Amino acid sequence: MPETRTGALKRLFPDEPGFRQAQLEKAVFDDGPNGWNEVTTLPQPIRDRLGKEVPWLSYDEDSTVFMESGDGDSFKAALELGDGSCIETVLMANRRGQWTACLSTQVGCAMRCAFCATGKLGLKRSLTSDEIVDQLRFWRRFLLKRDRNERVSNIVLMGMGEPLANYDNVKTALNLILGNTDIGSTRITVSTVGIIPQLNRILDDPEWPPVRLAVSLHSADLKTRKELMPTTYDRFLDDLTEWGQRYRQKFGNRRHHVTFEYLLLKGLNDTPDHAAKLVALSQEIGQVKVNLIPYNATDSGFTGSDENRIEEFAAVLRQAGIDVTRRRSLGRDIAAACGQLAGPRKG
């Protein structure tokens, strides 16, 4: 895995006082400087050496592939990293002048969900905390060039990769963002397939920030979930329930609840029977929010549920008192929607 900026600072200047690290991190999120030489808070010899040996950005600005959706509501960028790996990141409008950045956490993904384009790639490697953070820096720079009043207000870790399979770097990246921007922890959502040991680790980790968590459930029926998501093991739903109960006890309040993401696939997980199973699981955990996601076409051969079916499914949940939201799908025309990120097609 490539070295981080902080790692390089410590290696090159082992005798410098500890506050240099905070200065460096602050400078990286500052909109002013365009390179190490412009970071006036650092002494000139440090700037010179960093300038020679440490990239200011972890992607190559010149080889960025950039796309804009027809309605101008979403943008996608493919960034080339130092080792030639390519990752995708997305920017979506949420309110007037406010944007949500969707960040990747790995190059490819090992989870192999049947409906997801990224899963087909397999995992190449995890991203460093800098590579995660720099996707946000990319969009902040982009907005700054467009209009000074627009800003990234929300972040979702829903790009390529499984965030909890890259636990430490994701945690470092989140803490860097929280410590150096005005984006608050309830405006950041980490989405996971539900790696139970890592979910449990979060509950006991004082350094894990109080960001929102969303579990990609997609089915509360074990057999169906196994078909859709091969990471599902026999006791998965039991363990998830237990975790959900612990999470509630520890963090449960109006702002922190377990969210389930639920992708509706025609005839597969969208029947009243499946809705009833989702209700039962949610009630066993307690306060749960369900976010229904429309299927975005990939070449995996699934079909999304019809509008009527989606509404019927939502109605069953609402009648049971479950807080249901429906996700708008943005950026489909530029293959930037959930599950469509698979890198630019070459050749």
- Which residues participate in catalysis according to the annotation? 88, 338
The Cα–Cα gap between 312 and 304 comes to 14
Binding segment for ligand SAH among 25-33, 75-83, 111-119, 202-210 (CB under 6 A)?
A: 111-119
User: Hey, which residues between 125 and 164 contact ligand SAH (CB under 6 A)?
Assistant: 158, 162
> If binding means CB under 6 A, how many residues of this protein chain bind ligand SAH?
18
59 binds ligand SAH (CB under 6 A): no
Q: What region does 7 belong to: left with phi over 0, alpha with psi -120 to 50, or beta?
A: alpha
Angle between helices 19-29 and 129-146 (to 10 degrees): 40
In this chain, which of 69, 198, 298, 305 binds ligand SAH, going by CB under 6 A? 298
In this chain, which of 90, 116, 121, 173 binds ligand SAH, going by CB under 6 A? 116
Tokens of 77: 């960028």
The Cα–Cα gap between 64 and 344 comes to 11
Write down the residue that tokens 């979930």 correspond to: 225
Tokens of 164: 């909890």
* Other Cβ atoms closer than 10 A to 229: 22
CA Rg value for the chain: 21
191 binds ligand SAH (CB under 6 A): yes
213 binds ligand SAH (CB under 6 A): no
The smaller minimum CB distance to ligand SAH, of residues 6 and 192, is found at 192
Binding segment for ligand SAH among 3-11, 38-46, 138-146, 187-195 (CB under 6 A)?
A: 187-195
Measured from the CB of residue 76, what is the shortest distance to ligand SAH in angstroms? 14
Binding segment for ligand SAH among 55-63, 108-116, 170-178, 240-248 (CB under 6 A)?
A: 108-116
In this chain, which of 108, 244, 331, 339 binds ligand SAH, going by CB under 6 A? 339
What would the x/- binding string for ligand SAH be over residues 10 to 29, using CB under 6 A? --------------------
- Residue among 233, 225, 334, 341 at smallest CA distance from 281: 225
Measured from the CB of residue 228, what is the shortest distance to ligand SAH in angstroms? 9
Collapsing DSSP to helix, strand or coil, 97 comes out as: coil
Measured from the CB of residue 296, what is the shortest distance to ligand SAH in angstroms? 4
In this chain, which of 79, 261, 270, 314 binds ligand SAH, going by CB under 6 A? 261
In this chain, which of 192, 232, 259, 269 binds ligand SAH, going by CB under 6 A? 192
Report in angstroms the alpha-carbon separations of 260 from 28, 43, 134: 34, 48, 28
Residues whose CB falls within 8 Å of the CB of residue 149, separated by 6 or more in sequence, listed in order: 97
Longest Cα separation, the chain: 67
Strand duo 98-102 + 86-95: pairing? antiparallel
Binding region for ligand SAH (CB under 6 A): 111, 113, 115-116, 158, 162, 191-193, 216, 261, 263, 293, 295-296, 298, 338-339
